[in-house]
Amino acid sequence: MAKASPSFVCQNCGATYNRWQGKCESCGEWNTLVEEAGDSAVPVSIRAKRRGRPFKLESLAGKSVDAPRLPSGMAELDRVTGGGFVRGSVLLVGGDPGIGKSTLLTQATSLMARSGHRAVYISGEEAVAQVRLRAERLGLASAPVELAAETSVEDIIATLSEGATPRLIVIDSIQTMWTDTVESAPGTVTQVRASAQALIRFAKKSGAAIILVGHVTKDGQIAGPRVVEHMVDAVLSFEGEGSQQFRILRAVKNRFGPTDEIGVFEMTGLGLREVANPSELFLSERDLGSPGTAVFAGIEGTRPVLVELQALVAPTTLGTPRRAVVGWDSARLSMVLAVLEAHCGVKLSGYDVYFNVAGGLRINEPAADLAAAAALVSSLANSPLPTDAVYFGEISLSGAVRPVAQTAARLKEAAKLGFARAILPETARGDAPSDAGMALQTVGGLTSLVADIAARGTPRPAGRDSSSSEKNATPARFRRQEG
């Protein structure tokens, strides 16, 4: 029998080559190609002999058997999955090491098991004793979860095929699994892909919901196989700053639900605690009355979330000023800075700009523009913003403030948390309920907002570009260039 020719597989994107090369042409990464045995030892000439078997085609209107979703009992997790685990679906949960993936899934399986469903936890990384220790710490040791430390996919499937079909199976992690059908070492792209494929096939056939845990590389992608992301039904990413207690679960892909919902958790000594009202958490350690902070009334999925935006604008000592952003799009920041410079006469070229979203949240909404601009100008002008105000609105390249969706929901959340005024786009007033319980201050353009903030500030010693007097209430860098 002819020996299968070797193939070289990129460990980053899964592209295959028949000879080694330094750079993967598909994803551009260097030195990621590793020799792996092919997917199958059976030559194509033998495999191809089988004739196709005709199958029955179904109609779209067919009846589906019983309720396909099962809520986990953790409201924050269910919010992200779209209402619970779908029968026969496969979910990939990614996140940095130590972020709390095993903790989250231990809690989820325990809740499932306690409510009478068969739940299985397979750990490929930790010994049974270690998993037990964690469960004990979480106070869940009594939950009837079935536990094993196994890495062979064939053994796992053989074991789980016996008896009642488990309702939920956790595989922690997919990188440690290996299958006999391919010869590569565990952790390689070929192994991970083949193992995932076998488990997905088992899920579809048996109707069990499977959760795969995936590692994340330093640049934030689920390690090795991006291909696995395409194979599974949903990809959830578990994020958070290591030093902070907040953890955010976010759907990156979801075939059965929305991808804009977030679940918020807090890591405590007793495991992950669900945070039903994230605004309170994100605003809990507010630095009241200091310049450079603004509260943004945002929407994450269906839920309004208030979060503090922080800006620091400081004179630069470098030739090229620094622009550092955490939690927001850096292109978006550049855009807001350019609009401030072009239309409002705010000179920022001599300043470093640092921008941060408090609490480790990542904002994707354009509605944050106005709050970001307010924080930036507040820092530059050394002018604290009113502590009882929230901001939202999109800024267009012309400097106009554009309306955003869900004005009423944003105002309601802000009023609930004790804010007394909102700074919002002019055109949004119509969407605001008459009994918003807040003073509404509309802005048509960015210029008026900037003038308003600057007028209240005491300017700091300026950067290289400024020659303004420090006593001047409206420093030269804020004055509109007329004519």
C-alpha 332/C-alpha 372 separation (Å) is 10
- Residue 271 near ligand TYD by CB under 6 A: yes
C-alpha 314/C-alpha 230 separation (Å) is 44
Q: Which residues bind Mg ion (CB under 5 A)?
A: 102
Q: Which is nearer to ligand TYD, 82 or 271 (CB)?
A: 271
In the complex, least distance from residue 110 CB atom to ligand TYD, rounded to whole angstroms: 12
Q: Which is nearer to ligand TYD, 262 or 267 (CB)?
A: 267
Q: Which is nearer to Mg ion, 102 or 310 (CB)?
A: 102
**String marking each residue 123-152 x if it binds ligand TYD according to CB under 6 A:** -----------x--xx--------------
**Exposed, middle or buried, 8 (CB in 10 Å: 0-12/13-18/19+)?**
middle
C-alpha 445/C-alpha 458 separation (Å) is 23
First to last CA, the chain: 84
118, two tokens = 């068969």
Q: Which residues contact 128 (CB under 8 A, 6 or more apart)?
A: 147, 148, 149
Q: Which is nearer to ligand TYD, 270 or 397 (CB)?
A: 270
Select the binding partner of residue 99 from Mg ion, ligand TYD, none (C-beta < 5 to 8 A, by kind): ligand TYD
In the complex, least distance from residue 49 CB atom to Mg ion, rounded to whole angstroms: 45
Among 14, 100, 291, 304, indicate the residue that binds ligand TYD (CB under 6 A).
Answer: 100
- Residue 214 near ligand TYD by CB under 6 A: no
- Contact region for ligand TYD (CB under 6 A) — 94-102, 226-234, 295-303, 351-359? 94-102
DSSP label of 295: E
Q: Which is nearer to ligand TYD, 100 or 124 (CB)?
A: 100
- Residue 250 near ligand TYD by CB under 6 A: no
- Residue 11 near ligand TYD by CB under 6 A: no
Among 7, 11, 102, 406, indicate the residue that binds ligand TYD (CB under 6 A).
Answer: 102
Three-point CA angle 386, 452, 462, nearest 5°: 95
Exposure class string for 442-467: b at 16+ Cβ within 10 A, else e:
bbebbbebbbbbbeebebbebbeebe
Query: What angle separates helix 128-137 from helix 101-114, to the nearest 10 degrees?
Result: 80
Contact residues: ligand TYD, CB under 6 A: 95, 97-103, 134, 137-138, 267, 269-271
